[in-house]
Amino acid sequence: MTEIFGELDHPARLLMGPGPINVHPRVLRAMSVQLLGQFDPEFTTYMNQTMALYRQVFDTANHWTFLIDGTSRAAIEAALVSVLAPGDDVVILNAGRFGLLLSEIADRCGARLHLVEGAWGTVIDPNRVEEVVKHVRPRLVACVHGDTSTTMAQPIAALGEICRRYDALLYVDATATLSGMAAPADAWGADIVTAGLQKCLGGPSGSAPITISDRGAEHIFSRRHVERGLAVTSDAGAGRRIGSNYFDLAMVMDYWSERRLNHHTESAPMLFAARECARVVLEQGLQARFADHALAGKAVTAAAQAMGLEVFGDLSHKMTNVTAIHIPRGVDGDRVRARMCTDFEIEIGTAFGQLAGKVWRIGAMGVNARKHAVLTTFAALEAVLRGEGYSFTAGAGVDAALAVYQEDAA
């Protein structure tokens, strides 16, 4: 029997979780433009423009600034597998789910792991990292800037200095912060920084911006082996072959170079989406965008606290764009999320691992880092929590969020 199902026709939800978030309308329009062949000069011009745009978004002069086709973890995997050969030492900062993800991927690369651990809800003291780096002398130090699982933002600049001192490369996962919080690749002294579109950049998941320093590129190219079906005699390989074809950054960089050596078929709608995300961000200006995210995060925190809810973690290192809120005793967290969705068409986030069932995570990012989205979310949360028997002063959350915006406008 043929089953065709209906056309896509779902409710327009307000996505206020830790990502994905609602996509900017201009990005949606860019994705619906007719595609081009991947070697069409119009298309390769768009590729070069996208490199130039993301240099500005990453605040870097790095030539090697481009996109990995895939979600954010595709870029993480590309970075780690292209740098780490089996037996290489890597120091990983682990204070949340995404620190653990770095260790899992590095483990699969056959690297020797040295974890610097921190409790969830805290950041890691760079002096502790230095002690380990001094002792191990790793090829790479890897860390997450904003770990959405805990909502903590790890200070990075001191790590860059440590890596220079001990001649290690520095990798930073800025998936959840790029264009929402300052993530300046060059000022950090980072060698590889990766991101995704579905958080502060305001796009869909499926394309992952990456930037690589000359030092990082030199190391990656020291392992360059052109794909067998494309290689000419001058392409004799060097070093240990990178342990993945799809995520071989040397090959992906050859594709993004003027040589345009074919690798994957670049996804036109995702290139268009990434390009438009960056244009929206840069038209607004990075500083103004950081300020919008900071204000929204302040309003979310104030609203939660005014309702008697406890905000999770070390607030002095909290990401601005995602806030974790303890689920009050006696309240069924999943039922609250379900009622937010069915009664109000609003999605807030659940949590993973050791925080599962303990906190909700509310993101105010991209197009949703604005007053209307925060106020609507808290008006709904107040109504749902009242219905669940949680006692607090009605209206306190919305009033507190509004006061943050009014104070800012004054």
72 counts as binding ligand PLP under rule CB under 6 A = yes
145/224 with CB nearer ligand PLP:
145
Distance from chain centroid for Cα 302: 24
Segment near ligand PLP (CB under 6 A); pick from 24-32, 38-46, 68-76, 287-295: 68-76
148/211 with CB nearer ligand PLP:
148
293 counts as binding ligand PLP under rule CB under 6 A = no
Integer Cα distance of 200 and 21 in angstroms: 8
73 counts as binding ligand PLP under rule CB under 6 A = yes
The vertex-29 CA angle with 10 and 58, nearest 5°, equals 110
Six token digits for residue 85:
């050969």
144 counts as binding ligand PLP under rule CB under 6 A = yes
Decide: helix, strand or coil at residue 240.
Answer: coil
205 counts as binding ligand PLP under rule CB under 6 A = yes
Spatial CB neighbours of 286, under 8 Å, sequence gap ≥ 6: 56, 57, 59, 179, 182
203 counts as binding ligand PLP under rule CB under 6 A = no
Interface with ligand PLP in residues 332-351 (CB under 6 A): none
Binding pattern to ligand PLP, positions 16-45, x when CB under 6 A?
Answer: ---x--------------------------
Six token digits for residue 28:
């949606």
**How many residues at the interface with ligand PLP, by CB under 6 A?**
13
Segment near ligand PLP (CB under 6 A); pick from 171-179, 231-239, 281-289, 302-310: 171-179
150 counts as binding ligand PLP under rule CB under 6 A = no
Helix (H) or strand (E) holding 381: helix 371-387
323 counts as binding ligand PLP under rule CB under 6 A = no
SS (H, E, C) 131-148: HHHHHHCCCEEEEECEEC
Identify the CA nearest to 245 among candidates 111, 82, 72. Answer: 82
Segment near ligand PLP (CB under 6 A); pick from 81-89, 141-149, 251-259, 299-307: 141-149
Q: Does residue 371 contact residue 299 with C-beta atoms inside 8 Å?
A: yes
196 counts as binding ligand PLP under rule CB under 6 A = yes
Q: Where are the beta strands (DSSP E) in 17-88?
A: 64-69
Contacting ligand PLP (CB under 6 A), which of 50, 62, 71, 323? 71
Integer Cα distance of 161 and 158 in angstroms: 5
76/398 with CB nearer ligand PLP:
76
Contacting ligand PLP (CB under 6 A), which of 65, 154, 175, 320? 175
366 counts as binding ligand PLP under rule CB under 6 A = no
Identify the CA nearest to 68 among candidates 200, 175, 187. Answer: 175
154 counts as binding ligand PLP under rule CB under 6 A = no
Distance from chain centroid for Cα 366: 12
202 counts as binding ligand PLP under rule CB under 6 A = no
Six token digits for residue 86:
């089996």
Identify the CA nearest to 253 among candidates 213, 313, 201, 300. Answer: 213
Contacting ligand PLP (CB under 6 A), which of 111, 176, 192, 273? 176
Segment near ligand PLP (CB under 6 A); pick from 143-151, 220-228, 304-312, 361-369: 143-151
Residue with tokens 């268009």: 272
23/404 with CB nearer ligand PLP:
23
Contacting ligand PLP (CB under 6 A), which of 59, 147, 191, 382? 147
Segment near ligand PLP (CB under 6 A); pick from 67-75, 180-188, 282-290, 336-344: 67-75
197/384 with CB nearer ligand PLP:
197
Six token digits for residue 313:
């973690």
Q: Does residue 53 contact residue 195 with C-beta atoms inside 8 Å?
A: no
What is the spatial order of strands in the sheet that 207-212 belongs to? 64-69, 207-212, 192-194, 169-173, 140-144, 89-94, 112-117
Identify the CA nearest to 47 among candidates 264, 284, 365, 247. Answer: 264
Q: Does residue 361 contact residue 349 with C-beta atoms inside 8 Å?
A: yes
148 counts as binding ligand PLP under rule CB under 6 A = yes
89/173 with CB nearer ligand PLP:
173
Which residues of this protein are in contact with ligand PLP, per CB under 6 A?
19, 71-73, 98, 144, 147-148, 173, 175-176, 196, 205
